[in-house]
Structure 1
Amino acid sequence: MNQPVVITEAMAGRSVPDPLRHAFDKKTNAHSRGAGTPLPPHQWQEAWDRLMTLPGKGKRAAYFHIPFCKTKCSYCGFFQNTTKEAQVERYVDYLIREIEMTAALPRVQSAPIHAVYFGGGTPTDLTPEQIRRLGKVIRKHLPLANDCEMTFESRFNGLTDEKIDACIEAGFNRFSLGVQTFDSTIRRKMSRIDPQEVILERLQKLMSTDQVAVVVDLIFGLPYQTTESWLKDLEILVDSGIDGADLYQLILMGHTRMAQSIEKGSMPTPAGTEEKADRFLAAIDFLNKKHFRRLSVSHWGRSARERNLYNHLSKSGAEVIPFGSGAGGNIAGHSMMLQRKLDDYYADIDAGRKPVMGVVAPSPLYKAFNAAGAAFDLGFLNLKEMDKSGFEFSRLCRPLFEAWVSNGLAEMNGEFLDLTLAGQFWAVNMNQGLQQYLLALTGEASESGVHMGGHAKRAPVSGGAPKGCPHHSKQS
């Protein structure tokens, strides 16, 4: 039942002369999160088993979590396990068993998988032979589309020629690397291991294979970063010749070492919202002049080799089948996470169970939330297309859309609601505001907005992905 909605500032932003810098107070989350109802523990396995008997629909993805890191980056709040050779080998053995067990289920085999993503932790801590073994099992057992995007998330330290060759042999056709900044001084301050020279050499090695798309993350708003150093990062990015980049703004998490260092005064306060808005605008202007293609509000591509498929699918609420300890997934709107503790993960595999440790049943509005997530990722709302989700956005959300237009966050062009530059910068806030509006309009009560599934490739402190699943901490 639709009911009158009081449009709040949190939904629509505020009317100010400079909406890019002041429409909202700040971006408080890396990703917008839909509402849902957490299921009690005794229903987790039953929910998985039931969902796996149904056919899959639409483009789908698979996410593989490698929960090991040699070091913990100062901004990361999702560290799981320190890399130990014997422990990683045991984990790979169990992950292969999980792949074989899950691949046999009817839903997994019911439709092609269009994107595969290896994240972490860091997959770089796998040996070349382990990479080959996993790639062989995945290609043998999962129904990969013939143009499947297979991404290997990596740090630079430890990315040897042998591992690059192993990835290509295993079928990976895309590398995603967490540069965050090319500035060697700032990198050292953030506990990043390798200097600019090593990064550029490894990028050139990857490019020289001429067999993979190479993309990196850059973060604006870091402590010690200036506008000049940010522009220099962009220049180096363009000069490197790589295929694409995600540009994320820093979202400081209170439990990270970086946040603690800033609180103690041992690290300078990072850029505020106004400065981050300026750097966002500078990046758009710079990359436009260099004729990079805008694939989403935060992702750019240079060549046709870069498609950004996994990221967009996960932000659109597409099905993401999870594999590995700490992995998050999304099945028919149900967000889920797999066991984070290795012993619990191993015990479930030994018992022949999918190691599920949490399931959130979707809100009745989840298809509408997914349609909105896909639209905000692209920077425009195709209202005619979004109405196909079963929710009549074009009519029922008109008051909120008009408020956005009035506040300089969007422009109405027929059936399209195009985000302005300010709207692109505040896209996550606006998506969260739209979700609040839908819940209020329909009388749905949010259960705290719990969300555990759908992994977009994302920096742990940045605003690029769905989701409150464990963030990938790409180190170097």
Structure 2
Amino acid sequence: MLNLNLNDRDTLLKFDQQLPVYNWYYPFPSDEDEVVDTHQALLTLKTVKENRGRRALYFHVPFCDTLCTFCPFYRLTNYTYLERVDQYVDAMIAEMKWKSQYLGIGKVPVDIIAVGGGTPSVLTAEQIRRFGAALRDHFDLSELKEFTFELEVKSVTPEKLQAMKKIGVNRVSFGVQTFHPVYREIFNITSTPEQVRQVAKWATDTFAYVNIDIIFGLAGQSLDDLMAEADAAIALGTTTVDFYPLNYMSASLKMHRQFKERGLEPLSPATKIGYRMFLDEYMRAKGYIPINGYSYTRDRKERTGRVLLDRDPVFQYHDVLYGYSTDEVIGFGASAVTQAGDFNTFNPSSLDEYIDELQKEGALLSALTLGNKDCPEKGIVYFPYRGVLEKDRIEWARVPDETRQRLAEAVQKGLVADGGDRYTLTQAGWLFYVNLVYFLTPGAGQQWLNERIEKRIEEGRDPDAIQLYELV
């Protein structure tokens, strides 16, 4: 098990080790979870949001033109004929119809919609419009605040962007990942920088909120390389730029092999932390300000001094996905997950099984539903992803003692600030937000994550070094 130690000294380097993974879903499944009937579980969903809970719909479109080697998500390349994609859209619409019949889904106003993948932009403009019509037919969108659609550069056209806008999309995001030709080849990114720039222009001309993703901390990456990536990202003029550290433990074995073949050595954890610290200062020097631990937007406000961050704009789907126990995500599509009420439901990951079952049954009888999702600490454990923890949204009497004690220690060590009615992350907390998620997780959850990391190493992935420095 990882042994994260906290430093008492006045330093941003609060932890002596760096976790080798950067995101995961909590709570984790366990052998103690009861398998329950999906129909009965859906019947238990309440028709009224509780304790300021938010409702998000997530749609997974797994089709990709090429498979990027860094990507950990379920995706396929067999979409080369339109009929198969059309069948998948029909299946998602059938799943909408089935689930919306339950009052706790169909009658609860939706706050957020996110369409991800895979690459949803492989859908045609007509399929996008049909998808949007089904959303309006089956759900209450009267309180919809954010509607995100993910893009893949090669599949984007102005007509598709206009179709997205027509159905209510107000935020689009696409992964540039890197501009460096060597890393683009290793990641199997087949779009060109010219295509990236063209899509960025089309998107920013169409939507008020456009985001791009850049990966950093790549094996062999220099600080000059990172500065060049930041400059190229800024030049696209998007609303926000997300800088994600490369998640080696989730990437494919092919990516690991290609780094080795090219003699590119993984960066040390100290180097990656140093890059994060430099990147924050570099983006500020370029007129940008952080809106969380990894995302930056151009600062358009008059300020009299340095601020830690400004949560405007906020990626609201992120806040719900990594939210409180009363926040809910209803998943649609192959491999999609539903986290709602007292259960988690996992859709079949097989594309054929997903389509065939909805065509024949109009429901997913094979969906795996696990009950007894009693997790009062969820909002605390996920707090470092959001950066804000509203105290009145937590049932404190039911929170495990170890999580409450670690939160108190995080405050005492300067990772978290107690603001009376809420907790917020400090600069040190943002620097180590992933470590803090792990630190706040009860011991059983930490052990579950450790075992998954060890399994991926056993499969052949190079383990990340984790030691930053030795505590004296």
TM tier relative to shorter chain = 0.7 to 0.9
Partner of 2:385: 377
Deviation at 1:236, TM superposition (A): 2.7
Note if 1:63 corresponds to 2:70: no
> Partner of 1:288: helix, strand, or coil?
helix
Q: Deviation string for 1:3-23 (max 9, x for gaps)?
A: xxxxx9746545678653852
Partner of 1:48: 41
Q: Deviation string for 1:109-134 (max 9, x for gaps)?
A: 33211111111111121111111110
Alpha carbons 1:334, 1:359 under 8 Å: kept = yes
Partner of 1:277: 273
Deviation at 1:242, TM superposition (A): 1.0
- TM-score for both structures, normalised by structure 1: 0.80
Structure 2 residue corresponding to 1:144, chosen from 141, 155, 173: 141
Deviation at 1:105, TM superposition (A): 1.8
Q: Any unmatched runs of 5+ in structure 1?
A: 1-7, 440-444, 451-460, 462-476
- Written as runs of structure 1 = structure 2, the 5 A alignment for 1:313-332 is 313-317=320-324, 318-332=327-341
CA 1:315 to 1:399, structure 2 compared with 1: closer, same or farther past 3 Å?
closer
Note if 1:74 corresponds to 2:42: no
Note if 1:295 corresponds to 2:304: no
Note if 1:237 corresponds to 2:233: yes
Question: In structure 2, what is the Cα distance between the partners aligned to 1:272 and 1:355?
Answer: 47
CA 1:363 to 1:409, structure 2 compared with 1: closer, same or farther past 3 Å?
same
Alpha carbons 1:56, 1:111 under 8 Å: kept = yes
CA 1:336 to 1:145, structure 2 compared with 1: closer, same or farther past 3 Å?
same
Alpha carbons 2:344, 2:370 under 8 Å: kept = yes
Question: In structure 2, what is the Cα distance between the partners aligned to 1:100 and 1:64?
Answer: 14
Note if 1:123 corresponds to 2:102: no
Question: In structure 1, what is the Cα distance between the partners aligned to 2:386 and 2:218?
Answer: 25
CA 1:372 to 1:22, structure 2 compared with 1: closer, same or farther past 3 Å?
closer
Partner of 1:453: none
Alpha carbons 2:47, 2:104 under 8 Å: kept = yes
Question: In structure 2, what is the Cα distance between the partners aligned to 1:102 and 1:219?
Answer: 36
Q: Any unmatched runs of 5+ in structure 2?
A: 301-310, 451-460, 462-472
Partner of 1:471: none
Alpha carbons 1:19, 1:407 under 8 Å: kept = no
Question: In structure 2, what is the Cα distance between the partners aligned to 1:398 and 1:254?
Answer: 30
Question: In structure 1, what is the Cα distance between the partners aligned to 2:406 and 2:33?
Answer: 35
Partner of 2:171: 174
> Partner of 1:135: helix, strand, or coil?
helix
CA 1:232 to 1:44, structure 2 compared with 1: closer, same or farther past 3 Å?
farther
> Partner of 1:336: helix, strand, or coil?
strand
Question: In structure 2, what is the Cα distance between the partners aligned to 1:236 and 1:368?
Answer: 40
> Partner of 1:137: helix, strand, or coil?
helix
Partner of 2:427: 421
Structure 1 residue corresponding to 2:96, chosen from 94, 99, 111: 99
> Partner of 1:138: helix, strand, or coil?
helix
Question: In structure 2, what is the Cα distance between the partners aligned to 1:190 and 1:21?
Answer: 33
Partner of 1:470: none
Note if 1:308 corresponds to 2:315: yes
Question: In structure 1, what is the Cα distance between the partners aligned to 2:47 and 2:288?
Answer: 41
Question: In structure 1, what is the Cα distance between the partners aligned to 2:254 and 2:429?
Answer: 28
Deviation at 1:310, TM superposition (A): 0.8
Alpha carbons 2:178, 2:229 under 8 Å: kept = yes
Alpha carbons 2:61, 2:115 under 8 Å: kept = yes
Deviation at 1:417, TM superposition (A): 4.8
Partner of 2:245: 249
CA 1:193 to 1:20, structure 2 compared with 1: closer, same or farther past 3 Å?
farther
> Partner of 1:90: helix, strand, or coil?
helix
CA 1:329 to 1:39, structure 2 compared with 1: closer, same or farther past 3 Å?
farther
CA 1:434 to 1:307, structure 2 compared with 1: closer, same or farther past 3 Å?
closer
Partner of 2:110: 113
> Partner of 2:179: helix, strand, or coil?
coil
Letter in 2 for 1:342: L
Structure 2 residue corresponding to 1:353, chosen from 363, 366, 369: 363
Question: In structure 2, what is the Cα distance between the partners aligned to 1:160 and 1:154?
Answer: 10
Partner of 1:467: none
Question: In structure 2, what is the Cα distance between the partners aligned to 1:22 and 1:261?
Answer: 30
Question: In structure 1, what is the Cα distance between the partners aligned to 2:397 and 2:317?
Answer: 25
Aligned residue pairs, count: 433
Partner of 2:193: 196
Deviation at 1:233, TM superposition (A): 2.0
Deviation at 1:328, TM superposition (A): 1.5
> Partner of 2:176: helix, strand, or coil?
strand
Alpha carbons 1:34, 1:449 under 8 Å: kept = no
Alpha carbons 2:43, 2:102 under 8 Å: kept = no
Q: Which has the higher contact order (CA 8 A, sep 6+)?
A: 1
Deviates more, 1:26-35 or 1:39-48: 39-48
Partner of 1:31: 24
Letter in 2 for 1:320: V
> Partner of 2:154: helix, strand, or coil?
coil
Partner of 1:227: 223
Of all paired residues, the percent bearing the same amino acid is 23
Deviates more, 1:66-75 or 1:422-431: 422-431
Deviation at 1:293, TM superposition (A): 4.4
How well do the aligned residues superpose, as a CA RMSD in angstroms?
3.4
Question: In structure 1, what is the Cα distance between the partners aligned to 2:63 and 2:203?
Answer: 23
> Partner of 2:142: helix, strand, or coil?
strand
Letter in 2 for 1:315: Y
Question: In structure 1, what is the Cα distance between the partners aligned to 2:346 and 2:39?
Answer: 14
Alpha carbons 2:35, 2:370 under 8 Å: kept = no
Letter in 2 for 1:74: T
Deviation at 1:340, TM superposition (A): 1.0
CA 1:35 to 1:192, structure 2 compared with 1: closer, same or farther past 3 Å?
closer
CA 1:106 to 1:234, structure 2 compared with 1: closer, same or farther past 3 Å?
same
> Partner of 1:43: helix, strand, or coil?
coil
Question: In structure 2, what is the Cα distance between the partners aligned to 1:41 and 1:351?
Answer: 24
Deviation at 1:288, TM superposition (A): 2.9
Partner of 1:343: 352
Partner of 1:431: 437
Question: In structure 1, what is the Cα distance between the partners aligned to 2:341 and 2:404?
Answer: 28
Deviation at 1:391, TM superposition (A): 3.7
Alpha carbons 2:147, 2:169 under 8 Å: kept = yes
Letter in 1 for 2:87: R
CA 1:376 to 1:200, structure 2 compared with 1: closer, same or farther past 3 Å?
same
